[in-house]
Structure 1
Amino acid sequence: MKLSASQAVEVLRAAGEPSRLRILALLAREELAVLELCRVLDQSQPRVSRHLKLLAEAGLVERFPDGAWVFYRLTAGGQGGDLIAEVLARTDPADPILVRDAERLSAVWAERAADAGEYFARNAARWDEIRSLYVSDADVEAAILAAAGPGPFKRMVDLGSGTGRMLTLLAPHAQAALGLDLSQQMLNIARNRVTEAGLQRCELRHGDIFGTRLPDESADLVVVHQVLHYLADPAAAVKEAARIVAGGGRLIIADFAPHRLEFLREQHQHRRLGFAEPEMARWLAEAGLSKVRVTALPPARKEGLTVKIWTAERGQERQRSAA
């Protein structure tokens, strides 16, 4: 459906202000929290919130609370979004104001990365102990094994492999397995565990979940275990993970249900406090996966967190059409 003349005017009016156009350009890069936008724009929270309110009313951005934080992202799809995408595409990236915003956003990214790197390095040796405070490992592993199925798998890929927990669990059922992680400390621990488990066809590699550089549809089992809540753009990570799922293969995502334990954000580098089922279902569908199934595992202790396991598959239509 195309925009009416009045709708087009409303969209352009909402975007037709310098700060709001800057906000749209920033959100085109990733979802951002209000306070992060304030830092980049160097504007007060009330002023930025007012701009965001107008953009949301025009249907150009989506607002979603996450614990005590509020995040915004560009609205997916729609003629209004397409119009703004065209405007942004025609905006000179060398504009001094946009360049300055990009530099400030890069500084925010660098600060996040430094904090996360320090945290993971400090806690690598006791990572499983930290996780055990919130979930029952035995229940989660049993549910992941059930979601994966008996195999055998030609190739299993673990994105954000951490200490190698998913590799030691699932790689015995795979002809070949690959674990990617950005933390060298985590990779060192994972290598030791993989060796101790006698897994000879298991490779560990320094790699980024946002850009794995793996071929399209190259793994019949892809796992993202307790990773998304650390990421600035979890939807992009889901898209990249889905890209490497082969026809007839499946993607397994294990993460938390929405919660309000702010100390995980403050003390343990969690960026998102869990994920709602409709949000994850939309990301998986947009990534081309279907047959989504969800398993919920309630906490073993009162102060614990509910773990959800999403399983989605890629159909074999492409394989048949290529045959």
Structure 2
Amino acid sequence: MDKEILTMEEAAELFGVSVKTFIKLLKEEKVPARKIGREWRFSRKALIDWLSSGDSQSYSLSEVDAKDFFDEVAPKWEELSRSYYGESIKNKLIEMNIFNKDMIVMDLGCGDGYIARGISKLVKKVIAVDISGEMLKELRKKAEKSGITNVETLQTQAEDVPVEDSSVDAVCANMFLHHMEDPEVQIREMYRIVKPGGIAVVSDYVEHSDRELKEKMHDVWMGFNKNEMKKWFMAAGFKGIKTQMVQDARNIGIFIMIANK
């Protein structure tokens, strides 16, 4: 490789690691890089110099900032989220009849369990994953109050979930991908986690221009182009992709995308 300016994938190749491992490195170390728009770029020389210098111990604050934000808003998250999309997404998922009693479902970026608690009666078990311990605490409290016993919580980074490959029947990501620096990495992780024949279910905003929403909800992306999202899923290996729409309280479109492995 003789290019001087590298993409994320090329930088990972230079280091001889997967993109997922390289992103984890970016979060845990001080790696020389610049973000141009929504894309990261790296200097080949700077990366080699950094690697040879042995500099470490610094930690990217982006994940810490997100965790702190969600820890802080956890007690009022239900009220906050209701003011945006209410029960519309959960009701639509139930209406679509895509879950059954034999399923183990993973809910990525579960928050206080909006989806996990909502579908718990329809499935065998829900594994609720979130980076925020306070959010998971709220989930457990609300589940206990409602008599829900089949929701298991897991505090971890959602782009590197410590579970076996092909370990769940369905994986859900509700209003979650717009918080991720690189949604394509998360989609590939979803493909790894779900069993062959299983499904991935993603609900998120279509592209919008509401900057107040972005700032208030600690978003990275201001929604997504549905066609671009579909391409990301296809690139990860998913097929049979279908999309339905709902609206939030301010008439911003929300897509629900279902993809088969």
Q: TM-score range by the shorter chain?
A: 0.7 to 0.9
Instruction: Work out whether residues 167 and 194 of structure 1, in 8 Å CA contact, stay in contact via their aligned partners in 2.
Output: no
Instruction: Work out whether residues 7 and 40 of structure 2, in 8 Å CA contact, stay in contact via their aligned partners in 1.
Output: no
Choose which of 146, 149, 174 in structure 1 pairs with 2:98.
Answer: 149
Q: Mapping of 1:48-67 within 5 angstroms?
A: none
SS of the aligned residue for 2:103 comes to strand
Shift of 1:118: 2.2
Shift of 1:113: 2.2
Instruction: Work out whether residues 33 and 40 of structure 2, in 8 Å CA contact, stay in contact via their aligned partners in 1.
Output: no
- TM-score with structure 2 length normalisation? 0.81
Paired with 1:213 and 1:280, the residues of 2 have a C-alpha distance of 25
Choose which of 206, 226, 238 in structure 1 pairs with 2:187.
Answer: 238
- Kindly report structure 1 stretches of 4+ aligned residues shifted beyond 6 Å: none
Shift of 1:204: 1.0
Paired with 2:165 and 2:104, the residues of 1 have a C-alpha distance of 13
Paired with 1:294 and 1:22, the residues of 2 have a C-alpha distance of 30
Shift of 1:97: 4.2
Instruction: Work out whether residues 204 and 255 of structure 2, in 8 Å CA contact, stay in contact via their aligned partners in 1.
Output: yes
SS of the aligned residue for 1:113 comes to helix
SS of the aligned residue for 2:237 comes to coil
Q: Does 1:312 align with 2:259?
A: yes
Amino acid at match of 1:71: R
Aligned residues: 246
Paired with 2:189 and 2:201, the residues of 1 have a C-alpha distance of 13
Paired with 2:6 and 2:100, the residues of 1 have a C-alpha distance of 50
Amino acid at match of 2:254: V
Q: Mapping of 1:1-323 within 5 angstroms?
A: 15-16=3-4, 20-21=5-6, 25=11, 29=22, 70-72=37-39, 95-97=48-50, 107=59, 109=60, 111-135=61-85, 137-147=86-96, 149-301=98-250, 304-314=251-261
Shift of 1:21: 4.8
Instruction: Work out whether residues 243 and 287 of structure 1, in 8 Å CA contact, stay in contact via their aligned partners in 2.
Output: no
Shift of 1:268: 2.5
- Structure number with larger C-alpha Rg: 1
Pick closer, same or farther for the CA change 1:169–1:72 going to 2, 3 Å.
same
Cα shift readout 1:143-202 (whole Å, capped 9, x = no counterpart): 112345251233111111110111111121112221111111001000011212222222
Instruction: Work out whether residues 99 and 123 of structure 2, in 8 Å CA contact, stay in contact via their aligned partners in 1.
Output: no
Amino acid at match of 1:25: A
Paired with 1:268 and 1:239, the residues of 2 have a C-alpha distance of 25
Give the equivalent residue in structure 1 for 2:28: none
Pick closer, same or farther for the CA change 1:151–1:259 going to 2, 3 Å.
same
Cα shift readout 1:109-137 (whole Å, capped 9, x = no counterpart): 3x2123212211221111122222322x2
Instruction: Work out whether residues 169 and 199 of structure 2, in 8 Å CA contact, stay in contact via their aligned partners in 1.
Output: yes
Pick closer, same or farther for the CA change 1:305–1:26 going to 2, 3 Å.
farther
Shift of 1:311: 0.5
Amino acid at match of 1:96: D
Paired with 2:95 and 2:207, the residues of 1 have a C-alpha distance of 23
Paired with 1:246 and 1:216, the residues of 2 have a C-alpha distance of 8
Paired with 1:41 and 1:242, the residues of 2 have a C-alpha distance of 28
Structure with greater proportional helix content:
1
Amino acid at match of 2:232: W
Q: What is the root-mean-square deviation of aligned Cα atoms in Å?
A: 3.3
SS of the aligned residue for 1:259 comes to coil
Paired with 1:254 and 1:184, the residues of 2 have a C-alpha distance of 23
Paired with 1:40 and 1:73, the residues of 2 have a C-alpha distance of 10
Paired with 2:104 and 2:208, the residues of 1 have a C-alpha distance of 34
Give percent identity, aligned residues only: 21
